[in-house]
């Protein structure tokens, strides 16, 4: 993974870092207000220290750990998120036409973007496959640029 020379040492810097590295915004929450989250890793400054925990369906788990220092908490939380690569995956194409997905794969490869295809055999019965294409992290920037330039179609989820 490509990283800046300095790692985040405050919650504000960590928030910027996670956004810049294209982590899924729904995958993490920093600070108070986690009760409205679902299936989310959280880091909150509490009276006992910086607590990392998981929220599932609005229910908070016991802390994974508690750190006294904000910088250490940021480093450990980032390590926790880095352990799950799916938190940086972005679905950039969905189609029932495999040739359309293959065409997008070729364009992405020509731009140096590594993609991963996931084929779903049947959506509404036999003979109705779907093909999905994912990119990781900062490669989403390149996809956004290609969409803006009209080189690949935008993905819309309705």
Q: pLDDT tens digits, residue range 111-140?
A: 999 999 999 887 676 678 889 999 999 999
Regarding whether 75 and 93 lie in a shared domain, the answer is no
Question: Percent of the chain at pLDDT above 70?
Answer: 92
Average pLDDT over the chain, rounded to an integer: 90
- Would you say residue 5 has pLDDT above 70? no
- Would you say residue 3 has pLDDT above 50? no
Instruction: Give the position of tokens 């803006």.
Output: 148
Sign of the Cα torsion 60, 65, 66, 71 reads negative
CA dihedral angle for residue 151, residue 154, residue 155, residue 158, rounded to 10 degrees: -150
Is 52 within the bounds of a domain?
A: yes
Q: How many domains does the chain have?
A: 2
Domain that holds residue 139: 88-148
Per-residue pLDDT at 111: 95
Domain end: 43, 67, 83, which one? 83
Regarding whether 96 and 62 lie in a shared domain, the answer is no
Is 158 within the bounds of a domain?
A: no
- Would you say residue 158 has pLDDT above 50? no
| Alpha carbons 71 and 56: distance in angstroms, whole number | 26
The alpha carbon of residue 47 and the mean position of all alpha carbons in its chain are separated, in whole angstroms, by: 29
Is 5 within the bounds of a domain?
A: no
Regarding whether 98 and 48 lie in a shared domain, the answer is no
Per-residue pLDDT at 150: 93
Is 114 within the bounds of a domain?
A: yes
| Alpha carbons 142 and 135: distance in angstroms, whole number | 10
| Alpha carbons 156 and 93: distance in angstroms, whole number | 9
Query: Strand order in 89-95's β-sheet?
Result: 89-95, 130-136, 116-120
Domain end: 83, 103, 123, which one? 83
Regarding whether 53 and 108 lie in a shared domain, the answer is no
Regarding whether 77 and 44 lie in a shared domain, the answer is yes
Regarding whether 96 and 56 lie in a shared domain, the answer is no
Name the token pair of 13.
């810097």
- Would you say residue 157 has pLDDT above 60? no
- Would you say residue 17 has pLDDT above 60? yes
Per-residue pLDDT at 85: 86
Regarding whether 93 and 76 lie in a shared domain, the answer is no
- Would you say residue 46 has pLDDT above 80? yes
Average pLDDT of the residues in 40-53: 97
Average pLDDT of the residues in 68-89: 95
Regarding whether 75 and 28 lie in a shared domain, the answer is yes
pTM, 2 dp: 0.79
Is 39 within the bounds of a domain?
A: yes
- Would you say residue 19 has pLDDT above 90? yes
Domain end: 61, 83, 105, which one? 83
């Amino acid at each position: 993974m490509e990283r800046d020379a300095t790692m985040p040492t405050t919650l504000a810097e960590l928030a910027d870092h996670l956004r810049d590295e294209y982590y899924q915004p729904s995958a993490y929450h920093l600070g108070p207000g986690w009760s409205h989250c679902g299936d989310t890793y959280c880091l909150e400054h509490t009276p006992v220290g910086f607590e990392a925990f998981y929220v599932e369906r609005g229910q908070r788990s016991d802390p994974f750990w508690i750190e006294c220092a904000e910088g250490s908490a940021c480093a450990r939380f980032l390590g926790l998120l880095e352990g799950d690569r799916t938190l940086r995956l972005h679905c950039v194409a969905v189609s029932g036409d495999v040739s359309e997905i293959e065409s997008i794969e070729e364009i992405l490869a020509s731009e140096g973007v590594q993609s991963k295809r996931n084929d779903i055999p049947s959506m509404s019965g036999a003979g109705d496959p779907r093909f999905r294409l994912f990119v990781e992290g900062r490669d989403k920037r390149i996809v956004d640029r290609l969409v803006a330039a009209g080189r690949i179609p935008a993905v819309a989820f309705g």
